[in-house]
């Protein structure tokens, strides 16, 4: 294999040919059957352009927005290459190494490869070594020389130094996913050291949502005259697919508005609520807990297996609301490296990036993101593939400058004015909710938050370590471990779980199923009432957050 690749830039504008189908890309029948089983009807644009380049042996730098199918773009050709090489390969050896910045992303990539090799699992073996177990546990697995190894850079380097993983002579393909986050997660030194353990000649692929300075630095380290595949597309789904809303709300009102939206069932479908710190995760969870609203917290302090289980249960529909933190450590890595805190965080954890939350209808920025990229990556959790989605941002006065920067950037990307729609929420119409939420928010003290953090971590460690072997033998019991259980560090008042009819605006009683319509649910008259309500709000149902705007007060 030659290390010199032709330098070419490939853009979406170069060709207007009809979209190629998977069977036209020269793929093995076993891969095609697996793709059909996955329900991939046709290649996404990034897959159509990338797969032939990788099969031709070129180094490739792939830039495409979140949710565009980047994982499939490098997974499909890698499996094809391995199957082709098996015809002449004399010994079992590791030929593919995939690096990703977080354990959650490694797990998801591994699942994609498992699904793609269902018809050839004996020929193509894939191993995820990102879980933080003893090296000795994974050593015998690596000794079998799986065809593909998936790991975080730090974990891969540990095994390379321990000589459990030896790819100096066998490696043919190196893939780095979410390349723009590798340095942000503090893997700069690991990558530079790791490259010394690799052969001098190999094919390299970088996949990234942005072309940041870190990606350009990484490009110089691992790529040789690459084909640069840069799709001329906005970083997020088009406005017809992803609607952006803003809601002016100060700190004291954000909780009341969120409580009203959730309790009145005005937010439909799966929802990810983003905050900026771990403490805010637990404060919001404990606040909603008082009103009987179950939520799951996702942050870097929880064990990796707990985080993965939380995402899996969310994707499978066990619960509908996740509260996720975007720590500053992920957004300002060079600043935060110098600060030392008492709380231990897992740098191999990522929330806003990489993780494949499935069928998310709504993203709510309870705290507005700290930079433009953070907004893009948060909003990118919804409207994936061809699904509809909405992003609602609560914006305080101090957060408006950042909103204006995001608006300006997205205006350039989409070439469209007024991309953000103002959501007119009349807080005075839900004054009863505001009154209730004020006391509930104050009840969540710093001590209660600290106790909740400690309690959940202790529970998860117990679950992960002491009961691991039990759950391996009893998988059904593992499913009963819901991540959205109440923490009970704040005194709960039973009456808060119910919404009395008198605090619900008259314009919303029928929509929220509260009041007379609810009491008549089992009577014959309910049928006609439900039919009328369905017709009235049917247009709104296609856009989950379009139903949020409260009706104007009747004069």
The 10 Å Cβ neighbour count of residue 475 is 8
Mean pLDDT of the region 36-53 = 92
- Using one digit for the tens of pLDDT, what is the confidence trace for 337-396? 334 444 445 555 554 455 678 889 999 999 999 988 889 888 988 887 778 899 999 999
Q: Which residues have a Cβ under 8 Å from the Cβ of 493 and sit 6 or more positions away?
A: 290
- The pLDDT score that the predictor gives to residue 1 is 39
> For strand 389-395 and strand 321-325, is the pairing parallel, antiparallel, or unpaired?
unpaired
> 7 is written with which tokens?
């330098």
The pLDDT confidence band at residue 266, using thresholds 50, 70 and 90, is confident
Q: Read off the tokens for 46.
A: 């990034």
Give the torsion sign (CA, 424, 426, 430, 435).
positive
Domains annotated for the chain, with CATH where assigned, are 22-230 (3.40.50.300), 242-329+350-444+490-512 (3.40.50.300)
Q: Whole-angstrom Cα distance, residue 423 to residue 336?
A: 35
Least confident of 81-90, 350-359, 392-401: 350-359
Q: Considering the chain, what percentage of its residues have pLDDT values greater than 70? A: 76
**In the sheet where 389-395 sits, what is the strand order?**
296-298, 321-325, 270-275, 360-365, 389-395, 242-248, 420-422
Confidence class for position 405, pLDDT limits 50, 70, 90: very high
Ranges of H-type helices in 195-340? 213-222, 251-263, 278-289, 304-316, 328-331, 333-336
Residue whose structure tokens are 């605006």: 505
- What pLDDT score does 474 carry? 67
pLDDT band at 508; cut points 50, 70, 90? confident
CA atoms of 356 and 384, how far apart (whole Å) = 9
Q: How far apart are CA 399 and CA 391, in angstroms?
A: 16
- CB count within 10 Å of CB 220 equals 7
Q: What's the pTM?
A: 0.67
Given pLDDT bands bounded at 50, 70 and 90, which one contains residue 2?
very low
- The least confident of 207-211, 326-330, 399-403, 448-452 is 326-330
517 pLDDT above the threshold of 50: no
Please provide the average confidence, as pLDDT, over all residues in the chain: 80
At 472, the pLDDT band (50, 70, 90 cuts) reads low
Give the pLDDT of residue 73: 95
Q: Which pLDDT does position 455 carry in this prediction?
A: 82
Beta strands in 179-259 (DSSP E): 203-208, 227-230, 242-248
- Average pLDDT (182-194) is 87
């Amino acid at each position: 294999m030659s290390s010199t690749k032709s330098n070419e830039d490939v853009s979406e504008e170069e060709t207007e040919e009809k979209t190629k189908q998977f069977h036209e890309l020269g793929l093995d029948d076993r891969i095609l059957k697996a793709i059909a089983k996955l329900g991939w009807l046709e290649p996404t644009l990034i897959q159509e352009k990338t797969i032939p380049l990788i099969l031709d042996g070129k180094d490739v730098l792939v830039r495409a927005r979140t949710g565009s199918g980047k994982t499939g773009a490098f997974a499909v050709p890698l499996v094809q290459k391995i199957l082709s090489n098996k015809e002449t390969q004399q010994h079992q050896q590791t030929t593919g190494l995939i690096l990703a910045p977080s354990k959650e992303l490694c797990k998801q990539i591994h699942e994609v490869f498992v699904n793609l090799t269902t018809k050839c699992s004996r020929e193509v073996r894939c191993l995820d070594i990102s879980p933080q177990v003893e090296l000795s546990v994974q050593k015998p697995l690596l000794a079998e020389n799986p065809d593909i190894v998936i790991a975080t850079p730090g974990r891969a380097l540990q095994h390379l130094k321990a000589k459990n993983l030896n790819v100096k002579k066998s490696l043919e393909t190196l893939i780095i996913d979410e390349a723009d986050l590798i340095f942000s997660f503090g893997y700069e030194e690991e990558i530079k050291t790791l490259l010394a353990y690799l052969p001098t000649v190999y094919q390299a692929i970088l996949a990234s949502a942005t072309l940041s300075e870190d990606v350009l630095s990484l490009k110089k380290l691992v790529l040789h005259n690459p084909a640069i595949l840069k799709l001329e597309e906005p970083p997020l789904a088009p406005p017809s697919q992803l609607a952006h809303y803003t809601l002016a709300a100060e700190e004291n009102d954000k909780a009341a508005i969120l409580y009203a939206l959730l309790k009145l069932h005005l937010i439909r479908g799966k929802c990810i609520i983003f905050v900026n710190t771990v403490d805010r995760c637990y404060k919001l969870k404990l606040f909603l807990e008082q009103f009987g609203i179950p939520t799951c917290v996702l942050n870097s302090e929880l064990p990796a297996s707990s985080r993965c289980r939380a995402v899996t249960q969310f994707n499978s529909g066990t619960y509908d609301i996740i509260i996720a933190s975007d720590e500053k450590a992920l957004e300002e890595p060079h600043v935060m490296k110098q600060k030392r805190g008492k709380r231990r965080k897992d740098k191999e954890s990522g929330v806003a990036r990489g993780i494949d939350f499935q069928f998310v209808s709504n993203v709510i920025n309870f705290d507005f993101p700290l930079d433009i990229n953070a907004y893009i990556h948060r909003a990118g959790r919804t409207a994936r593939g061809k699904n509809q989605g909405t992003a609602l941002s609560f914006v305080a006065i101090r957060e408006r400058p950042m909103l204006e920067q995001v608006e300006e950037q997205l205006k350039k990307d989409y070439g469209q004015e007024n991309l953000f729609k103002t959501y007119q929420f009349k807080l005075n119409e839900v004054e009863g909710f505001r009154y209730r939420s004020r006391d509930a928010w104050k009840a969540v003290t710093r001590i209660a938050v600290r106790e909740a953090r400690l309690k959940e971590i202790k529970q998860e460690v117990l679950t992960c370590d002491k009961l691991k072997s039990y759950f391996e033998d009893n998988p059904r019991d593992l499913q009963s471990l819901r991540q959205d259980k109440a923490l009970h560090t704040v005194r709960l008042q039973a009456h808060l779980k119910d919404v009395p009819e008198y605090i619900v605006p008259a314009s919303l009683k029928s929509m929220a199923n509260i009041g007379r319509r609810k009491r008549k649910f089992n009577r014959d008259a309910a049928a006609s009432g439900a039919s009328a309500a369905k017709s009235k709000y049917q247009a709104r149902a296609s856009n989950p957050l379009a139903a949020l705007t409260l009706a104007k007060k009747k004069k």
